[in-house]
Amino acid sequence: MKKILAVTACPTGVAHTYMAAESLAKLAKEKGIPLKVETRGAVGVENELTEQEIAEAHAIIVAADTDVLESRFAGKPVVKVPVAHAIKNPAGLLDEALNKEAAAVSNDLLKQVEANKAERSAARSGPYKHLMTGVSAMLPLVVAGGLLIAISFIFGIEAFKVEGTLAKALMDIGGGAAFALMVPILAGFIAFSIAEKPGMAPGLVGGMLASQIGAGFLGGIIAGFLAGYVAKFLKDLIKLPRNLEGLKPILLIPLLATGITGLLMIYVFGQPVKAIMDGLTTYLTSLGSANAVLLGLLLGAMMAFDMGGPVNKAAYTFAIGLLASGIYGPMAAVMAAGMTPPLGLWLATLIAKRKFTKEERDAGKAASVLGISFITEGAIPFAASDPFRVIPSIVAGSAVTGALSMLFGATLRAPHGGIFVLPIPNAVSNVGMYAVAIIAGTVVTALLLAILKRPAVEKTAA
C-alpha cells in the first residue's frame, strides 16, 4: 500500500487544525490507506513526521493556512490546499495524493550536496539545533539590512545623516529596522525551536531586552534559550481540561514565560553579558595586524574543517553576531574561507586531472558554482571519498584565505551571496585584495590536492 502523510494547520491552531486531521484520518481508516497526520496547533506540533517516514511516503498532503516547514518535503509529491479543504473534501485529497507521481531524483553533485545538507539538518539535536534555527531565521534580516546599508553609502559615507534623503531612508530600513530585529528574531526562533509556538513571545521579548540593554547577539542567545526552556517547563507543567487547552499558548504561557524571562534578563543576565560584549568589541576593534591574521587563520580553518557542520557554523555564527556591533572584518574572512574549499577542488580537477575520476572531474564543474555561491558543502562528496587528503588540503587553503582577508583589512556587510555581492558598492571593502585572498586560498588547496592525492582508478564496466 502507498503510504500517505499529512500536515494540518490553521492560523489560530485551535479548531480547524484538528478537524482537518480527524477528517483525513477517519476516511483513510475506512479505505484502508496507511496515513499519519501531523498537527501544528496552538499547543505545538503533535504526531510529528520523522525524516524516515517522509523518505518512505508516496506523497504528502499539506492542508494548512500557515507555514509548516514544507522544505522537509523537497523531492516528494505534495498536495497543497487550504485547511478547510481537508474538512470538506478529504476523499478528493486522498485520491489526488495516491495518484501523484514521485519526483525524479538526479545523482549529480548538486543533489548530493542537498542530500548532505538535509541529512545534517535532520541529525541536529539539542542546543545546536535550537541555535541554528535562530541563526537561520535571523540570516535574511542580516543580509537584507547589510546590503541596504551598503547601498546607502553609494551616496556618500555620511549622506544618511541628511534628513529626507534616499540615503537616510535606506539606512533607516537597513540599520534602524532590519538590524534592530536581528537579536529579537534570533532569540524568538531559538525559543520557538525549544518550546514551539508558546516560546515565541517570551523569546522575542527577551531578545528585544537583550538588544536594548546592549547585550548583543550573546544576550539574544541566552534570552532565547532561557525563554524556550521556561516556556517548555510551563507547557509541560500546566494541565487544563481539553476545552481550555487553547488558553495555555495564548494567555498563560506567554504571560508567565515573558514575565520570568524579562525579569531575569533585566536583573540577572543583562548587565554581565553586556560587559562581556563590550569587552569583546573593544578587543576586536583594537586588534593589531598579527592578532588579526591569527584570528582570520583560525576562522578560516574552522570554516573548512567540517564544511557546514558544527565547527563551521560556530565560526559563521560568531561572525554574524559581530555585524550588529559594527565589526565587519571577521565576516569577510569567514565568507571568503567558506568559498575556498569547493573552488580549490574545482581547480584541482583541472590541474591534476589524473588524480580524479571522470565523475569527479564533472562534479568539479558544479563545485565551482557552489564555491562562488558560498556553499561550502560542495566539498563534502570529495572529502567523503578521500578525507585524509582532502580535508587537510581544504583546511590549509581556507586558513590562508581567512588570514589574508584579515591582513588586508577587508570587511563585509552582507553575510552571504558569495561572489555575487562583490559588485555591490560598499558591500565589501578592499575588493581587489579580498579577491586575491580567495584566489590564494583556492590555489593552495588545489596544489596540495595535486601533491597529496593518489592517481584515480577509473571504474571499468563488468
How deeply is 253 buried, as exposed, middle or buried, from its count of CB atoms within 10 A (0-12, 13-18, 19+)?
buried
Instruction: Give which of 309, 318, 317, 314 is closest to 341, Cα–Cα.
Output: 309
If residue 385 lies in a helix (H) or strand (E), which one and from where to where?
Answer: helix 380-385
Cα 438 to Cα 38, 51, 431, 446, distances in angstroms: 45, 37, 11, 12
DSSP state of 240: -
Are 442 and 344 in contact, with CB atoms under 8 Å apart?
Answer: yes
Per residue, the 3-state secondary structure of 17-80, as one string, reads HHHHHHHHHHHHHHHCCCEEEEEEECCEEECCCCHHHHHHCCEEEEEECCCCCHHHHCCCCEEE
Dihedral sign from CA coordinates of 341, 345, 347, 348: positive
The size of the chain, in residues, is 462
450 is catalytic: no
Cα torsion 12, 14, 16, 20 to 10°: value is 130
Are 410 and 430 in contact, with CB atoms under 8 Å apart?
Answer: yes
Looking at 7, 9, 10, 320, which residue is catalytic?
10
**Residue numbers annotated as active site:** 10
